[in-house]
Structure 1
C-alpha cells in the first residue's frame, strides 16, 4: 500500500494548534511575564527608582566614593583600635556561629522526619525554628541589647539565636536527604534507634553540616559588622561613628579590613571544606 503525500494545507486544517503562532500557544506564559514586568515597573516607580532624584543620588554616590579614596585610618593608634575591633567582630562571629550550631545539632534531628520522635514534636520543632529564623539578626541584636546591655555579649547571643533557626532547618534537611542504605544495614543487624542515628545517619551528614558551619562563620563576619552599628560590639560601632562624622577615608579603611578578613576566612573555609570532602570520599571507598 503506497502512502499518499499530504499537503501542508491539509495538515494545517487537521492540526491547527501545531501551526498556530508561538504567541498563541504560549498565551498563559506571555500573560504571566507581562504581569511580572508590569509589577516590576510599578514597584520601581512607586519606590522612587524612576524619579529624577535617583540620577542626582548616583552623582552624589560617586562623589562619596571619591571622598573615600585613599583608605586611611588617620593615625597608627587609630589603626590599632580598628584592628582590635575587627578581632572582636571575628570573635563574635565565631562564637555566635559555634554556639548556634551546637544548640541546633540535636534540634535538627527532632525537626527531621526520618529521625524525630513523633509528629507533634516534629511540627512544634519546625514552627519554633521558623520563628527564630523569621526574625532578622539585627532585631535579635536590639532585643538582646535591652536584655544584657551593650557590648559583644549581646552580639554573640543575637547571632546564636538567629543561627539556631537557620542551622536547625539546614541540619534537618541534610538528615532527611541522607542515604537510607546505611540505616537499613544497621537495622538489619539488629541495631536500635540510637545505632541507626550514630552509625547510619551521622557519617553521612557530618561533612555536610561542617561545610554549612564554615560558610556561616564567613557570612556572620559580615553580620557581626552590621549588628555592631546598633551597639552589639565589634567594628560596626566604629563604622557607624565614622559615617556620622563624615570621615569617609576612615570608613573605607574599615570596609577594606572587613573585606580582607572575609577573604581570608573564605580561603580557610574552602581548604577545610575540600579536606572534609576528601575524607568522606576515602571513608566511602
Structure 2
C-alpha cells in the first residue's frame, strides 16, 4: 500500500520549507568553496610532492631489497642484545613516566577548560589557548628543547613526552567533562552539595573511566614516540636504531624493530586487560 502526497500539498511544503530543503545560497556557496579548496589542496600536494605510480612501484622494489638485507634479525652478539633490551626498557620507562605525569598535571587544566565547570569566559579562553599552544608543538621539538635545557639522556625524553601529552590530555579531559551527563551534578546540587562536591561526586565518576582509557592508550602510543625522540639524543632505543641505520647494520635494525613491536604488542594486551577491568566487560 503506497501513500502519495497530493501535488498541491507537496508544492506548499516545498515552498514553506524551501530554505531547509534546498539550502540557502550562502550555504551552497560555502559547501562548493570548501569542496573546491579540498580538491585544490589535493592536486597541489600531488604535484608538489611529484607523486607518480611509477615511483611507488619502484619504491616497493627497493623496499623488498631492504627486507632481504634485514633478514634474519640479529643483534650481533649477546652483549649487544643485552644493551638493546636495556635501552628498550628505558624507552618504556620514558613513555610510562611521561604519560602518567602529564595525565596528573593536565587534570586541573581539563576542568578549567570545560565550559560546564568554569563559566568565566576569560579563564576558559586562556586555558584552552594554553593547551592548544603546548599541544601544537610536536614531541620531537620538545625533545630538542629539553635536551638543551637538561642535557642529553632519558630525563629529557621523559620531559618531552610529558610536555607534549599535557596539552593533548587537557583537551581530551575537557571534552569528556563537557560530554558528561548533567543529571548527576544536578542531583548532588539538589541535596546541598558544594561546587567541589558536584565535581567530585557528579563529574569524576563519569569521566574517570574515559580518562583511564585515554591514559592507557597514550602509554602504548608513547612507546613508539619515545623511540623517535631517542634518535635526537633523548635516551632509549631510538639512539641505537639511528646508529644501526647510519652504519647500514640492517640485521641489527630489524632486531631493534622486532623488540619494539613485541613491546608495543605486550603493552597493548596489558592495557586492554586493564581497560576492561576499569570499565567492565559491558563495553565488549
**Residue 46 of structure 2 is aligned with which of 27, 44, 47?**
44
- TM-superposed CA distance for 1:280, in Å, is 9.3
Could you tell me which residue of structure 1 aligns to residue 139 of structure 2? 137
Could you tell me which residue of structure 1 aligns to residue 243 of structure 2? 241
CA distance in 2 between partners of 1:204 and 1:35 (Å): 40
**CA gap 1:124/1:31 in 2 versus in 1, 3 angstroms:** closer
Could you tell me which residue of structure 1 aligns to residue 108 of structure 2? 106
- TM-superposed CA distance for 1:62, in Å, is 1.7
**CA gap 1:38/1:175 in 2 versus in 1, 3 angstroms:** closer
CA RMSD of aligned residues (A): 2.4
Could you tell me which residue of structure 1 aligns to residue 234 of structure 2? 232
CA distance in 2 between partners of 1:97 and 1:235 (Å): 18
Between 1:39-48 and 1:78-87, the stretch displaced more is: 39-48
Deviations, residues 3-60 of structure 1 (Å, cap 9, x unaligned):
xxxxxxxxxxxx9xxxxxxxxxxx9889976775564344223202228555443322
**CA gap 1:181/1:138 in 2 versus in 1, 3 angstroms:** same
Where in structure 1 are there 5+ consecutive unaligned residues?
1-14, 16-26
Give the SS at the match of 1:72: coil
Between 1:217-226 and 1:57-66, the stretch displaced more is: 57-66
**Residue 199 of structure 1 is aligned with which of 198, 201, 215?**
201
Alignment of 1:71-220 (within 5 A): 71-116=73-118, 118-220=120-222
CA distance in 2 between partners of 1:255 and 1:213 (Å): 24
CA distance in 1 between partners of 2:106 and 2:62 (Å): 45
TM-score (norm 1): 0.84
Deviations, residues 108-138 of structure 1 (Å, cap 9, x unaligned):
1111111126221111010000000000000
TM-score (norm 2): 0.84
CA distance in 2 between partners of 1:191 and 1:107 (Å): 22
Between 1:180-189 and 1:271-280, the stretch displaced more is: 271-280
Could you tell me which residue of structure 1 aligns to residue 67 of structure 2? 65
Q: Contact between 1:133 and 1:163, CA under 8 Å: does it hold in 2? A: yes
Q: Contact between 1:113 and 1:122, CA under 8 Å: does it hold in 2? A: yes
Between 1:232-241 and 1:50-59, the stretch displaced more is: 50-59
CA distance in 1 between partners of 2:82 and 2:113 (Å): 45
**CA gap 1:139/1:184 in 2 versus in 1, 3 angstroms:** same
